[in-house]
C-alpha cells in the first residue's frame, strides 16, 4: 500500500522511511494542537527524569566522543581518505569552514552568545563562587566555551566521521543505518536499518525545529525592540512562514547554488558584526579577556568534562549541560551527514582537526568579544543584563539589549536580524537536502517535492510548539529536545565501534596507504528502478556491500560482514597465506 501511494505521488525515496517519519511528524503536530497540556506535561515529566538521573551519562558520553575522535585522528588510520584513495577535497578551506559554521553553530552563537555568559555570571554553578563577581565572570566565560566549543562539536564528530567513511569510502547509502554495517551487515536494508533511519530523520526534524523556534523568538524580540512589533505567537508563526518560504527557494536551488552562497553571506555578516563590537566596545579588554577566557577554559575543562553538581541543590547540569548536549545530539544526524557531504576527499586527521578546532577557535573569539563587553557594562553599572536576561527570562532579546549599548543601534540591529534570519534559512534548506538523502538512500537529487515536504515539516513542528505553549515556549522546546536526544546519543557509541572495525578492515598497510574501493550501494527499490532505465549502467552499482576486484589490501586479514566469502578477499588470502594456512603450505 505504501509503495502504491509512493508511486502515485511521483516520489523517489524509500516508502517506509518517508511515510513513517511523515506520520510521526503529523501525529505529533496534531496532538500538540488538540491536547497541548497533556503533551507538554508528558514531555516535561520525561525530560525532568532524564535531567535528574542521566546528566552524568551525557557529560561522560560527550567527553568520550572527543577522546575517541582525537585518538583515531592521531592513529595510523588518520591518513585514510574519506573517499577513494585518489579523492581530493571538493570545497576550499574557506568555503568548507563557512558551511560548517552556518549549518552547525552560527545560530546558536547568535542566540546564546550574550545570554549564556550572563546567566552563569548571575548564577555560578561551581562550588563556592559568589554571584556577580569578577571570579564568577571569569568562570562564566570558561563554562560558555565548554558548552559551545569543543564539546558541542565533539557531539557532531563521531556521526559525521561515520557518515563520511561509510558513504564515501564504502559507498553505502547516505543513511545513518549505513554506519552500522560492520555490526548488522545486510540488515541495514531491513527493518532494523529502517528503524535507525526513521529515528535519524525524526530527530533531525525536531532538532532543527527547536533551533528555528529559538530563532523566531529572537527575531520577534528584535523586531519588538526596533519596531514595536508585539511579542506573540501569531507574529512568530508569521516569521516562521517567511523563513520557511525563503528556505524553500534555497532548497530548490540545491547545495552549491543555495546553501554555499548563503553560507558565504552569513559568515561575512557575522564577522562584520563581531569586528564592529570589537571596534566600538572595550577593544583592548575584549582581546585580553578572550585570551584569558581560553586559559580559564583549559584550566576548567578537566573538571567541567565530568561536572555533575553532585554536592549542590542546583539543577544546573540538567538545565544546561543536558539540554545543550541533547539538543546537539538531535542535530548530529543532519550536521554529521552535511559535514560528511562537504568533506569528501579529506583525510580522517584533516577532518577531525578541522571540524573540532576551527569552529571552536571561532567560538572562543565570539564569546570573548561578546561576553567580556557584556560583563564590563554590567560590572560598571551601565547595563542591567542580569535583571532582564536572568530574572525576567528575556533570553531571546539579550543580543538586542546588548547592541543597545553601542552606537548605530538601528543599523546593527537590522544587520543582526538579517544574520539570524540567514542562519536559520541555511539550517532549514541544508536539513531538507540531508533528510531527503537519508530517506531516499542516494546522493542524486530526488524530486523537488520531497525536499519541499521536509522543509515544510520543520516549519510545521516549530510552529505548533511555539503557538500551543504560550509563554512557556522556550521551556517546551528544551523539554522536547531532551527526550529526543537520548537515543541518538546512545547510538553514537555503536557508531564509534563500527567505525573502528571498518577502518581496521580496510587498512592496507603503511605508506602508501591502499584500501578497498567499494561499489556504490543503492537501496533495492532504487536499484530495480535504475535497472529499467536506459540512462543507467546498473553494473556500476550494487544492492549490498561489495568491493571492486583488484582493489584489495595486500595483507588483508579481515572479512567485512556482508561481503560474500567466495570473492576477492579469498583470492588475496590464497596469494598471501597467513597463520595456519601459511604453515600448511610450508610443510607441503
- Per-residue pLDDT tens listing for the chain (588 residues): 788 888 888 888 889 999 999 999 999 989 988 988 888 889 889 988 988 888 888 888 889 999 999 999 999 899 999 988 888 888 777 777 766 765 556 778 888 899 999 999 999 999 888 999 999 999 999 999 999 889 988 888 999 999 999 999 999 998 999 999 999 988 998 999 999 999 999 988 988 888 888 888 899 988 888 888 898 888 988 998 888 888 887 777 655 555 566 667 777 888 899 999 999 988 899 999 999 999 999 999 999 989 888 888 778 888 888 888 888 888 888 888 888 888 889 999 999 998 898 889 989 999 999 999 999 999 999 989 999 999 988 888 999 999 999 998 889 998 888 888 887 787 787 788 888 888 888 766 678 888 889 989 988 888 888 888 766 666 777 788 888 888 989 999 999 999 999 998 888 544 456 677 888 888 888 888 888 887 777 887 888 877 777 666 654 444 444 444 444 444 433 444 444 344 343 343
- From the centroid of its chain, how far is CA 267? 18
Residue 107 located in a structural domain: yes
Give the sign of the dihedral formed by CA 20, CA 524, CA 489, CA 171. Answer: negative
Closest CA to 538 of 558, 555, 549, 524: 524
Assign residue 562 a region: left if phi > 0, alpha if psi is -120 to 50, beta otherwise? left
197, 116: one domain: yes
Q: Are residues 568 and 437 in the same domain?
A: no
pLDDT for res 578: 41
Whole-number pLDDT of residue 66: 94
Q: Which of 519, 522, 518, 520 is nearest to 440 (CA)?
A: 522
Tell me which of 490, 506, 532 is where a domain ends.
490
Check residue 521 and report its DSSP letter. Answer: B
Give the integer Cα–Cα distance in Å for 147 and 527: 44
367 domain-assigned: yes
Q: CA-CA distances (angstroms) from residue 398 to 347, 387, 503?
A: 40, 11, 46
Domain for residue 8, yes or no? no
- Which residues make Cβ contacts (< 8 Å) with residue 163, sequence separation at least 6? 174, 176, 178, 179, 336, 337, 339, 340
* Length of the chain in terms of residues written: 588
CA distance 101 to 417: 18
Looking at the structure, tell me whether residues 481 and 545 fall in a common domain: no
Residue 167 and residue 262 in one domain: yes
Pinpoint the alpha helices (H) of 405-533.
409-440, 448-469, 473-506, 524-531
Q: Do residue 486 and residue 529 come from a single domain?
A: no
| DSSP symbols for 313-325 | S--HIIIIIIHHH
Residue with cell 561551581: 126
Task: Answer whether residue 500 is part of any domain.
Answer: no
Question: How many structural domains does the chain have?
Answer: 2
Q: Which three cell numbers stand for residue 99?
A: 558551511
- Looking at residue 10, what is its pLDDT? 84
Same-domain pairing of 329 and 447: yes
260 and 174 housed in the same domain? yes
Measure the CA–CA gap between 423 and 428, rounded to whole angstroms: 9
Q: Which three cell numbers stand for residue 148?
A: 559551545
Contact predicate 244/478, CB 8 Å: no
Q: Is residue 2 situated within a structural domain?
A: no
HSE at residue 109, side-chain half, CA atoms within 13 A, is 34
Cβ 372 vs Cβ 286: under 8 Å: yes
156 and 334 Cβ atoms separated by less than 8 Å: no
- In a domain, residue 497? The reply is no
pLDDT on residue 444:
67
Q: What would the grid cell of residue 355 be?
A: 571540524
**All residues at 6 or more sequence positions from 260 whose CB lies less than 8 Å from its CB, including other chains:** 91, 95, 98, 99
530 and 486, same structural domain? Answer: no
Q: Residues 6 or more apart from 526 whose CB is under 8 A from it? A: 12, 440, 441, 442
Number of alpha carbons in the 13 Å side-chain half-sphere of residue 176: 31
pLDDT at 146: 93
| Same domain assignment for residues 134 and 222 | yes
Position 574 scores a pLDDT of: 41
* 319 vs 294: CA distance, rounded Å: 24
266/348 same-domain check:
yes
Looking at the fold, whether 193 and 311 belong to one and the same domain comes out as yes
Helices first, then strands: H and E counts in the chain:
25, 0
List Cβ neighbours of 504 (8 Å cut-off, separation of 6 or more): 77, 558
Tell me if 516 is assigned to some domain: no
Q: pLDDT at position 101, please?
A: 64
CA distance 421 to 131: 34
Question: Structural domain of residue 192, as residue ranges?
Answer: 15-490
Name 518's bridge partners: 547
CA distance 289 to 539: 60
pTM as predicted = 0.80
Q: Is residue 4 part of a domain?
A: no
443's CB contacts (< 8 A; 6+ apart) are: 167, 174, 341, 437
DSSP state of 518: B
Which distant-in-sequence residues (6+ apart) come within 8 Å of 147 by Cβ? 116, 320, 321, 324
CA–CA gap between residue 517 and residue 553 (Å, rounded): 10
On whether both 446 and 562 belong to a single domain, the answer is no
CATH label of the domain that carries residue 455: 1.20.1740
Amino acid at each position: 500500500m505504501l509503495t502504491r501511494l509512493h508511486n502515485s505521488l511521483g516520489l523517489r525515496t524509500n516508502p517506509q522511511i518517508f511515510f513513517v517519519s511523515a506520520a510521526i511528524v503529523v501525529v505529533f503536530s496534531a496532538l500538540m494542537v488538540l491536547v497541548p497540556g497533556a503533551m507538554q506535561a508528558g514531555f516535561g515529566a520525561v525530560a525532568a527524569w532524564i535531567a535528574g538521573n542521566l546528566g552524568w551519562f551525557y557529560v561522560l558520553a560527550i567527553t568520550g566522543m572527543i577522546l575517541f575522535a582525537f585518538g583515531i585522528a592521531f592513529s595510523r588510520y588518520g591518513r585514510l581518505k574519506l573517499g577513494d584513495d585518489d579523492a581530493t577535497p571538493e570545497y576550499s578551506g574557506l568555503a568548507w569552514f563557512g558551511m560548517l559554521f552556518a549549518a552547525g553553530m552560527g545560530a546558536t552563537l547568535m542566540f546564546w552568545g550574550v545570554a549564556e555568559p550572563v546567566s552563569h555570571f548571575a548564577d555560578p554553578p561551581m562550588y563556592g563562587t559568589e554571584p556577580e563577581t569578577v571570579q564568577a565572570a571569569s568562570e562564566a566565560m570558561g563554562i560558555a566555551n565548554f558548552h559551545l566549543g569543543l564539546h558541542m562539536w565533539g557531539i557532531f564528530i563521531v556521526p559525521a566521521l561515520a557518515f563520511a567513511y561509510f558513504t564515501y569510502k564504502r559507498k553505502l547509502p547516505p543513511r545513518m543505518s549505513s554506519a552500522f554495517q560492520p555490526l548488522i551487515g545486510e540488515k541495514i536494508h531491513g527493518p532494523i536499518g529502517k528503524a535507525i533511519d526513521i529515528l535519524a530523520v525524526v530527530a533531525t526534524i525536531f532538532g532543527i525545529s527547536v533551533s528555528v523556534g529559538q530563532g523566531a523568538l529572537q527575531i520577534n524580540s528584535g523586531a519588538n525592540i526596533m519596531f514595536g512589533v508585539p511579542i506573540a505567537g501569531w507574529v512568530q508563526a508569521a516569521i516562521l512562514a517567511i523563513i520557511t518560504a525563503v528556505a524553500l527557494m534555497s532548497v530548490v536551488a540545491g547545495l552549491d547554488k543555495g546553501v554555499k552562497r548563503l553560507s558565504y553571506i552569513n559568515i561575512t555578516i557575522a564577522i562584520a558584526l563581531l569586528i564592529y563590537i570589537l571596534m566600538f566596545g572595550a577593544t583592548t579588554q575584549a582581546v585580553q579577556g578572550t585570551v584569558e577566557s581560553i586559559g580559564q577554559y583549559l584550566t576548567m575543562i578537566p573538571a567541567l568534562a565530568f561536572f555533575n553538581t553532585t554536592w549542590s541543590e542546583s539543577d544546573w547540569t540538567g538545565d544546561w549541560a543536558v539540554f545543550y548536549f541533547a539538543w546537539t545530539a538531535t542535530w548530529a544526524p543532519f550536521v554529521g551527514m552535511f559535514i560528511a557531504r562537504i568533506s569528501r576527499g579529506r583525510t580522517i586527521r584533516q577532518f577531525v582537526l578541522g571540524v573540532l578546532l576551527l569552529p571552536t577557535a571561532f567560538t572562543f573569539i565570539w564569546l570573548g568579544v561578546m561576553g567580556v563587553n557584556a560583563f564590563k557594562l554590567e560590572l560598571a553599572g551601565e547595563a542591567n543584563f542580569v535583571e532582564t536576561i536572568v530574572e525576567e527570562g528575556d533570553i531571546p532579546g539579550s543580543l538586542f539589549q546588548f547592541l543597545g549599548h553601542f552606537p548605530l543601534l538601528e543599523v546593527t540591529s537590522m544587520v543582526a536580524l538579517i544574520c539570524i534570519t540567514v542562519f536559520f534559512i541555511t539550517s532549514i534548506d541544508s536539513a531538507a537536502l540531508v533528510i531527503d538523502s537519508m530517506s531516499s538512500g542516494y546522493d542524486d537529487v530526488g524530486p523537488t517535492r520531497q525536499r519541499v515536504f521536509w522543509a515544510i515539516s520543520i516549519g510545521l513542528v516549530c510552529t505548533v510548539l511555539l503557538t500551543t505553549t504560550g509563554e512557556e515556549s522556550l521551556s517546551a522546546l528544551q523539554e522536547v529536545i531532551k527526550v529526543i536526544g537520548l537515543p541518538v546519543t546512545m547510538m553514537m557509541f555503536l557508531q564509534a565501534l563500527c567505525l573502528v572495525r571498518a577502518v581496521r578492515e580496510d587498512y592496507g598497510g603503511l605508506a602508501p596507504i591502499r584500501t578497498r574501493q567499494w561499489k556504490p550501494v543503492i537501496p533495492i527499490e532504487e536499484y530495480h528502478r535504475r535497472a529499467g532505465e536506459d540512462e543507467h549502467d546498473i553494473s556500476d552499482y550494487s544492492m549490498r556491500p561489495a568491493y571492486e576486484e583488484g582493489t584489495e589490501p595486500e595483507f588483508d586479514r579481515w572479512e567485512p560482514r556482508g561481503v560474500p566469502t567466495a570473492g576477492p578477499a579469498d583470492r588475496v588470502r590464497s596469494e598471501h597465506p597467513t597463520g595456519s594456512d601459511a604453515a600448511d603450505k610450508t610443510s607441503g
